[in-house]
Amino acid sequence: MNRLISYSLALFSFIFLAMGMSGSTFSQESDIKKDLVGHWPLLKDGQDASGRNHHATNHGVTWSDGASDQSIGALFNGRDSFLEIADHPDFQWGHGDFSFCCQATLNESGDDVPGDLVSQYDESKRQGFQVSLKTSTGVTFNQSNFRHLQFGIDNNRMSQWTPCGKPGPRTLLAFGLISHEGNLYAGTCEPDDGDMGRVYRYGGGESWVDIGSPTRANSITVMASHKGDLYVGSGKYRVAGSALKESTNTQLGGHIYKYSDGKEWIDCGQLPNTEAVSGLISFRGQLYAGSLYHPAGFFRYEGGTTWTPLTVPTGNRVEAICVFNGDLYATSYNQGRVFRFDGNQWTDLGQLGESELNTQTYSFAVHMGRLFVGTWRSGRVYRYEGINQWTDVGRLGEELEVMGMLVHNGRLIAGTLPLAEVYSFDGRDRWDRLTQLDTTPDVKFRRAWTMAEYKGDLYCSTLPSGVVYRTHVGRMASWDHEFPTGWHHIAAVKHGSRLKLFVDGTLKSESEVFNPSDYDLSSHRPIRLGIGSNDYFYGRMRHARLYRRALTVGEIESIAKADKK
């Protein structure tokens, strides 16, 4: 009898534990509704399914008919469509934790930057948050970031600029900076006799690792990510153009190289009649490049070592190149104009300012869904409004040339010549001076040349000191890898003193530790799906959710699995 009772008790305990284990699963599923303040399935409309009635106002977003899994979800066109949810106390985060998650897939046409998934950001106060998929093109000559997932917060805070050392002991300038597959790379100008342009990988602090030189020319002038690989272009930089002693290395460049598997350099061919490569960019799945000096040249890569010469815009050189709203855009050193390429022919978009003053266009940035261009020699930036329509958005101090520009965690930041100063755009028509990076004495020109984002920081190169500097705006978690094709679940979590990014339930990146009391994120701005400080989102999104707490890893995994169905 006692044995029977013992057996019964054991069986009861086993059943109870089994139910408890099963119950914990159900409990976790119910927990994912705790502190949920918005759930927008985005399968047929912008209605909120959380029960809190935060329905979205639609601005041009279209809906699929649900015919297949690949077509389900809200379609954002990358040009002007977004969803807006009105400000509400549910979305006043203060100093506390919160989470955003969604499923997203990018448009794979390769003719636009991917844009922002969600934002709640007051540009005048520089307060709020955003989650973005970031590509930066036309940062002087470089494509410095490609499809990187970022989660940033700010409350009008910016760190001091910190020197990160010279990539090489005789580096005059880091011509190129690029964040590629988890590393930051610099392509340099090494002008002295016996030297040649080299590529370095950032090792932290003021340390740089020399990964070799594929060229005998004095510079690596351009860098870009394309189909998962790092490509660079070489050139003989005419150092006298920066009012310095001319380089004693007379070897011409014009070659493109691929860094294969992080191990070896592969020669991808010589650009015809080209001594130095200017812009390099991935556009519609193909690689394009320009010529820095005369004769003007523009080329498309066909594989192996073959480059096809294409027409140039009214005989002008193609310099900085960017991708925006379906087309490729180019600056020129022959005129103060910008040209647009649709894959077959060029369109002249007009003169920026006075032709007697602005004789060169230098750099691009996409900010708030608009295209911005830097110039020489007015030192001004212009915003594109349409063919022959350019709005002057201000001069950067008393500077003459606007070089690299990049949007970093909400701010449009630009470098200059002749003082190598750095400025931040106020969103209207004023540029606020941040600092002077290069103070080399007894030189005519100092340049804050190009920029890239890496591990949540902004990096900027300088001439003639050769030093690279970094800063950070607010705090950011950045997954510095090319975002994969197809549908993927994204979760951005603010948890205590860190920001975290998850893809398909796996932690991919987290920010440096910060003091939560420094960041009051109650911006009183609407929640916007599909637009932020960068560009309109170009792709599809579904099951967007907001929580007033930090989701756990288990909860993120459960949501990611549930939303796949």
- Token pair 């080209």 is at which residue? 274
Nearest to 346 by CA among 318, 369, 381, 370: 318
User: Measured between alpha carbons, how far is 299 from 290 in angstroms, rounded to an integer?
Assistant: 6
Residue 254 in contact with residue 264, Cβ under 8 Å?
Answer: no
* CA dist 261 → 85, 181, 231, 292 (Å): 44, 11, 12, 28
Stretch 152-179: mean pLDDT, rounded?
A: 98
* 60 has pLDDT over 90: yes
Apex 262 CA angle, 257 and 264, nearest 5? 50
- pLDDT bracket for residue 260 (50, 70, 90): confident
User: Measured between alpha carbons, how far is 384 from 464 in angstroms, rounded to an integer?
Assistant: 32
Residue 504 in contact with residue 558, Cβ under 8 Å?
Answer: no
- In a 13 Å sphere around the CA of 242, the CA atoms on its Cβ side amount to 28
Find residue 210's DSSP bridge partners.
200
Q: For 52, which DSSP code?
A: S
Residue ranges of E strands in 426-481: 431-436, 447-454, 457-463, 468-471, 473-479
Specify whether the backbone of 508 is left (phi greater than 0), alpha (psi in -120 to 50) or beta: alpha
Nearest to 511 by CA among 556, 424, 453: 453
User: Measured between alpha carbons, how far is 400 from 422 in angstroms, rounded to an integer?
Assistant: 13
User: Measured between alpha carbons, how far is 224 from 207 in angstroms, rounded to an integer?
Assistant: 22
Q: For 555, phi and psi rounded to 5 degrees?
A: -65, -40
* 9 has pLDDT over 70: no
Contacts of 6 (CB under 8 A, 6+ apart): none
The predicted pLDDT at position 1 comes to 41
User: Measured between alpha carbons, how far is 161 from 166 in angstroms, rounded to an integer?
Assistant: 15
The predicted pLDDT at position 63 comes to 87
Tokens standing for 75? Answer: 């379609």
* 5 has pLDDT over 50: no
Contacts of 456 (CB under 8 A, 6+ apart): 150, 152, 472, 475, 476, 477, 478, 511, 512
* CA dist 541 → 50, 76, 379 (Å): 17, 8, 40
Q: For 524, which DSSP code?
A: -
Contacts of 149 (CB under 8 A, 6+ apart): 131, 132, 133, 134, 478, 479, 483, 490, 501, 503, 508, 509
Buried/exposed code over 355-368 (b: 16+ C-beta within 10 A; e: otherwise)? eeebbbbbbbbbbb
- pLDDT bracket for residue 29 (50, 70, 90): low
DSSP characters over 379-421: -EEEEEEETTEEEEEEE-TT-SEEEEEEEETTEEEEEEESB-E
513: buried, middle or exposed (CB in 10 Å: 19+, 13-18, 0-12)? exposed
For 284-299, how does the pLDDT look when each residue is reduced to its tens digit (9 = 90+)? 999 999 999 999 999 9
Per DSSP, helices labelled H in 414-475 are none
* 13 has pLDDT over 90: no
Stretch 178-191: mean pLDDT, rounded?
A: 98
Using only C-alpha atoms, the chain has a radius of gyration, in whole angstroms, of: 25
Tokens standing for 91? Answer: 């979305």
* 27 has pLDDT over 50: no
- pLDDT bracket for residue 71 (50, 70, 90): low
For 215-231, how does the pLDDT look when each residue is reduced to its tens digit (9 = 90+)? 999 999 999 999 999 99
* 233 has pLDDT over 90: yes
- pLDDT bracket for residue 12 (50, 70, 90): very low
The predicted pLDDT at position 263 comes to 81
* Domains annotated on the chain, with CATH: 42-85+112-121+521-565 (no CATH), 161-477 (2.120.10.80)
* 540 has pLDDT over 60: yes
Residue 555 in contact with residue 111, Cβ under 8 Å?
Answer: no
For 295-351, how does the pLDDT look when each residue is reduced to its tens digit (9 = 90+)? 999 999 999 999 999 999 999 999 999 999 999 999 999 999 999 999 999 999 999
Can you give the length of the chain in residues? Answer: 565
For 85-137, how does the pLDDT look when each residue is reduced to its tens digit (9 = 90+)? 999 999 999 999 999 999 999 999 999 999 999 999 999 999 999 999 999 99
3-class secondary structure, 561: helix
3-class secondary structure, 14: helix
The predicted pLDDT at position 446 comes to 98
- pLDDT bracket for residue 429 (50, 70, 90): very high
Residue 546 in contact with residue 91, Cβ under 8 Å?
Answer: yes
* 502 has pLDDT over 70: yes
What is the distance, to the nearest Å, from the Cα of residue 110 to the centroid of all Cα atoms in its chain? 15
- Token pair 């899994």 is at which residue? 69
Stretch 146-169: mean pLDDT, rounded?
A: 98
- What percent of the chain clears pLDDT 70, i.e. is strictly above it? 93
* 11 has pLDDT over 60: no
Mean pLDDT of the chain: 93
- What percent of the chain clears pLDDT 90, i.e. is strictly above it? 90
* 210 has pLDDT over 70: yes
Q: For 482, which DSSP code?
A: P
Q: For 58, phi and psi rounded to 5 degrees?
A: -90, 130
